[in-house]
Structure 1
Amino acid sequence: MPIEREPRSQRALRLASGTALCLAASFGLDLPIPFLSPLLALFMLASLNRPLPLKAGLGLTLMVLLTTGSGLLLIPLLRYYPFSGVLLIGLCLFLAFRYGLRGGNNLTATFLVVGLTMISAAGTADFGLAVMVIDALVKGLLLAVLVLALSHWLFPEPANAPALPVAPALLAEEAGWVALRAALVVLPAFLVALIDPASYMPIIMKSVSLGQQSCTTTARDAGRELLGSTLLGGLLAILFWGALSILPHLWMFFLWMLLFGLLLARKLYALSPTRLTPGFWLNTLVTLIILLGQSVQDSAAGKDVYTAFAVRMGLFIAVTLYACLMVRLLDQRRQRRRVRQHAC
């Protein structure tokens, strides 16, 4: 007889096991940019409480090819007219975030942002690198869709479970301000990545995560939400690496990720209630996966893991502090504008 659990418990188990399985499979299969697949799985597990049908999964893959391919079209512009290219990417980022905030599909908006940043940045250095990033995204997404289906089979959603809450679409003016803020959060990381796209891919993914999180964060909570989750993710990555170093094996990689995922999923789904928002815990897990995935790749490549981690963590903190600054400055500007409008 199947064990009946409340929906939040099922979702926590599904998110932790699916993310851990996708992480282990991605590294075990030696996929390009292996941390991408568990990130995609995490986003889908957190936003979908039903498995994707085969047709929807194939449609999503095709959509990824089309949206990420948009970055390829911008490569010539960035190479020969860099200033105009950066302005156009900034405008497209604004439109992508605004589309999601106005009730559009958040996964589509995310892939648009990734395509505009990661792929166009990679293409400025080497067109082959841009194609490799698209290949990594498509393979990672296919693996994430399979893991999503398996996770739902192992931990199905109860029949009477309430649907996941859907964020209401913002009004046009409000969506414009928030989308501008998110675009300004992502754009500097994109500019940094143009220096060395192969090395700064994690910075872009982190900035995309921060851009999404900034859409639901106020100036009052920006420091705690953005910087706090980044620092906690870094601390957990250090603890994870120390634990994994005791017995470095793929199965232990999976088991440790499962444990850390369960701890964070309990917070995310309020099984262990805290004052922090679900976005805080989701961004913490995103930071953990990016830092950990890159450290494993650095170790496999024979690089100095600790120096690379310190540099990467420093960049993450710098990007996060900048994101907090953007949230505060734009919110203050919007408040002053409202005061002037009421005064008139």
Structure 2
Amino acid sequence: MPTERSPRVQRALRLATGTALCLAASFGLALPVPFLAPVLCAMLLVTLNRPLSFKATLALALTAMLTTGIGLLLIPLLRYFAFSGVLLIGVSLFLVFRFGLRGGNALVVTFLVIGLTMISSAGVADFDLALSVITALVVGLFLAILAGAVGHGLFPEPANLPAPAKAPALPAEQVERIALRATLIVMPAFLLALIDPARYLPIVLKAVNLGQQSSTVRARDAARELVGSTLLGGLLAIGFWSALSLFVHLWMFFLWMLLFSLVLARKLYGLSQTRWSPGFWLNTLVTLIILLGQSVQDSAAGKDVYTAFAVRMGLFIAVTLYACLMVHLLDQRQGQPGVSPPAPARQDSTPP
């Protein structure tokens, strides 16, 4: 492998190892929402090329608790003044996405959106459920940071590697439109979660991922990127489940996830030639983890895994098609193709 590509090799190995370790530990410890930790771990490893210090870890955990705790404050409003509560959350989502598009921290944006949607919708049905989701998020975050630290220890960044260049800023005239687009993508999934949080919370997490990804792809490529990554994630989940069923064991769960993550990481970091963006492959990995994690939970609960998977996959596709529709309508109204900044994963490419 050429020397200049070695940082990308390290990052691909780190992403695959950290995600697989986090997945195995999360399910082995029987966390309340076990697929949440590996999703956070994948996002952390793609976003950050250096391990977090102890001080930064505490700061991030505190930020997660504070931002997700906002959802608890919105529960009474949603229970007694539902229309006003939904309207307030819609406006808040718009402001959060606009903050992120103007250069705000991507992780803070993710936690704020989760707090506004997942936590508040869970709390409307059951306050204890909202607390359990927050607990799962914070514990999952610590687990993700620990797995990421192991990945950095096994596959460290070169010491003399310069810091990656910042992504180009989004033109000011497009910030409002793209923030509105992301808000409209997330809101329907949030409304579904208000009806049945236990069933639709994974859909909210998927919508949050789509809302952020829709801000990183060009409008003319949105349908192929969003729908394609969702379908590919579903196909990989089916293949993963079939392979795991040959020998069901936690270590095999880890090894299969390591293999699948490594294949996707090679695509994400450009080690294997592809015409798709890094955001496409990250969304595929996130979709795979969510679908697979829910199937494992369905199996443990004695549910019909295949029927539940078909329903969940149908909802994922519906949410994705709706996201594509919002991208098309808003960009058509704008009258221009809509150029967006590159995905966060592009920042992790090898610097020139």
How do 1:116-127 and structure 2 match up within 5 A? 116-127=116-127
Q: More relative contact order in 1 or in 2 (CA 8 Å, sep 6+)? A: 2
| One-letter amino acid matched to 2:324 | C
Alignment partner, residue 182 of structure 1: 182
Shift of 1:174: 1.3
Shift of 1:307: 0.3
Q: Are the aligned partners of 2:97 and 2:109 in contact in 1 as well (CA < 8 Å)?
A: yes
Shift of 1:164: 3.5
Alignment partner, residue 80 of structure 1: 80
Alignment partner, residue 256 of structure 2: 256
How do 1:108-123 and structure 2 match up within 5 A? 108-123=108-123
Gaps of 5+ in 2: 339-352
Distance in 2, matches of 1:184 and 1:162, equals: 38
SS of the residue corresponding to residue 219 of structure 2 reads: coil
Q: Are the aligned partners of 1:47 and 1:164 in contact in 2 as well (CA < 8 Å)?
A: no
Residues 299, 164 of structure 1: alpha-carbon distance in 2 compared, 3 angstrom cutoff: farther
Alignment partner, residue 321 of structure 1: 321
Distance in 1, matches of 2:35 and 2:192, equals: 20
Alignment partner, residue 341 of structure 1: none
Alignment partner, residue 218 of structure 1: 218
Distance in 1, matches of 2:21 and 2:336, equals: 48
Distance in 2, matches of 1:211 and 1:314, equals: 18
Alignment partner, residue 280 of structure 1: 280
Aligned residues, how many? 336
Q: Are the aligned partners of 2:71 and 2:115 in contact in 1 as well (CA < 8 Å)?
A: yes
Q: Aligned-residue CA RMSD in angstroms?
A: 1.6
| One-letter amino acid matched to 1:126 | D
How do 1:5-154 and structure 2 match up within 5 A? 6-154=6-154
Distance in 2, matches of 1:224 and 1:5, equals: 28
Distance in 1, matches of 2:337 and 2:186, equals: 24
Q: Are the aligned partners of 1:16 and 1:265 in contact in 2 as well (CA < 8 Å)?
A: yes
Q: Are the aligned partners of 1:103 and 1:168 in contact in 2 as well (CA < 8 Å)?
A: no
Q: Are the aligned partners of 1:218 and 1:327 in contact in 2 as well (CA < 8 Å)?
A: no
SS of the residue corresponding to residue 70 of structure 2 reads: helix
Alignment partner, residue 156 of structure 2: 156
| One-letter amino acid matched to 1:221 | D
Distance in 1, matches of 2:246 and 2:337, equals: 56
- Name the TM-score, length of structure 2 as normaliser: 0.93
Alignment partner, residue 345 of structure 2: none
SS of the residue corresponding to residue 262 of structure 1 reads: helix
Residues 19, 335 of structure 1: alpha-carbon distance in 2 compared, 3 angstrom cutoff: same
Distance in 1, matches of 2:295 and 2:276, equals: 28
Shift of 1:207: 0.2
- Name the TM-score, length of structure 1 as normaliser: 0.95
Residues 51, 79 of structure 1: alpha-carbon distance in 2 compared, 3 angstrom cutoff: same
Shift of 1:169: 2.7
Distance in 2, matches of 1:129 and 1:171, equals: 40
Are positions 1:227 and 2:227 aligned together? Answer: yes
Q: Are the aligned partners of 1:102 and 1:171 in contact in 2 as well (CA < 8 Å)?
A: no
SS of the residue corresponding to residue 108 of structure 2 reads: helix
Gaps of 5+ in 1: 339-344
